Amino acid sequence: MNSKKIAQDTAKVLQDYLTYQAVKVIVAQLTETNPGEAIWLRQYSSDGKLQDGERYIEGLMSELEGKKLVMRILTVRDNLAEQVLEYLPEMVSSSIKQANLAHRRHLLERLTQSSTPADNAESGLDANEYSDENK
Amino acid sequence: MNSKKIAQDTAKVLQDYLTYQAVKVIVAQLTETNPGEAIWLRQYSSDGKLQDGERYIEGLMSELEGKKLVMRILTVRDNLAEQVLEYLPEMVSSSIKQANLAHRRHLLERLTQSSTPADNAESGLDANEYSDENK
């Protein structure tokens, strides 16, 4: 397991995602202040270009309408990075631990159920399940 | 700009990506130790299921072959998280700053070029561009 390579790939995914979020923020702002530009930016950004954030920004520079938006995207992305990055390790780490607990419990339930089908057939759970019909 | 919501969405993306990387690591390990299982896991994971990591793991529990892989995925994902998460803020932050510098320089070059087309036509750059034809 090459964790250095995985860290690099993950950082790239994170950077691309922050670029996508920066564009989303700016489209929302422009919708209020300059609807025409908002429509242009949304359309320009719609066909998967944002999957590679740096290529997207370079591409934007070739467009007359894009040039003036580039600086804004860079600034918003930088601000976003400052606001969210430091909290991510703790957020993701605790979310994974919580999810793992839930998955382990579900797995245990499934393994217990499938290994004792005969017991389940006569269990209180099944009796409750049909209680409405029996009333 | 709702940075709390953006942080939560980004954490979700990160968690899904670490799940994807954990599955990738396990497919690579199984390719060495149990090629049949590796093929099964690769096929099971191929049609976009991994875009939502937690649903993917829940889905895997419904499969006979998947049940025994779930615990391994949870463990590898947890290890990966411990190994890469703490480095990400610094990696992404400095990568964004570096990328922004490069983009700003390119943008400045483009703006300078397009604002002085007449100057460029007589510049040394154009003379060099056609120098091969003039030889």
Give the tens place of pLDDT for each residue, A35-81. 999 999 999 999 899 999 999 999 999 998 898 899 999 999 999 99
Which of A12, A13, A90 is the best residue to mutate to test the B interface, defined by the most B CB atoms within 10 Å of its own CB?
A13
Residues B21 and B39 in one domain: yes
pLDDT at A129: 41
Residues B110 and B47 in one domain: no
pLDDT digit string, tens, across residues B51-105: 999 999 999 999 988 988 999 999 999 999 999 999 999 999 999 999 999 999 9
pLDDT at A1: 74
Residues A98 and A82 in one domain: no
Residues B13 and B79 in one domain: yes
Residues B93 and B77 in one domain: no
Percent of chain A residues topping a pLDDT of 90: 76
Residues A9 and A75 in one domain: yes
φ, ψ at B88 (rounded to 5°): -60, -45
ipTM, two decimals, is 0.82
Residue B99 in contact with residue A15, Cβ under 8 Å?
yes
Measured between CA atoms, how close is A125 to chain B, in angstroms? 20
Interface of A with B in 45-104 (CB under 8 A): 54, 57-58, 61, 67, 70-71, 74, 76-78, 80-89, 91-93, 95-97, 99-100, 103-104
Residues A30 and A72 in one domain: yes
Residues B79 and B118 in one domain: no
Please give the tally of structural domains in chain A: 2
Residues B70 and B36 in one domain: yes
> What is the distance between the alpha carbons of residues A19 and A77, in angstroms, rounded to a whole number?
6
b/e map of B87-113 (b: 16 or more CB within 10 Å)?
bbbebbbebbeebbeebeeebeeeeee
> Any idea what the CATH number is for the domain that residue B44 is in?
1.10.1200.210
The number of residues making up chain B comes to 135
Measured between CA atoms, how close is A126 to chain B, in angstroms? 21
Residues A15 and A79 in one domain: yes
Cβ–Cβ pairs < 8 A, chains A and B: 150
Residues A80 and A94 in one domain: no
A80–B3: do the CB atoms touch at under 8 Å? yes
Q: What is the pTM of this model?
A: 0.82
Band (B117; pLDDT cuts 50, 70, 90): low
Residues B55 and B115 in one domain: no
Structure tokens at B100: 């922004």
For residue A119, what are the domain limits? 89-133
pLDDT digit string, tens, across residues A1-48: 789 999 999 999 999 999 999 999 999 999 999 999 999 999 999 989
What is the residue-averaged pLDDT of chain A?
Answer: 87
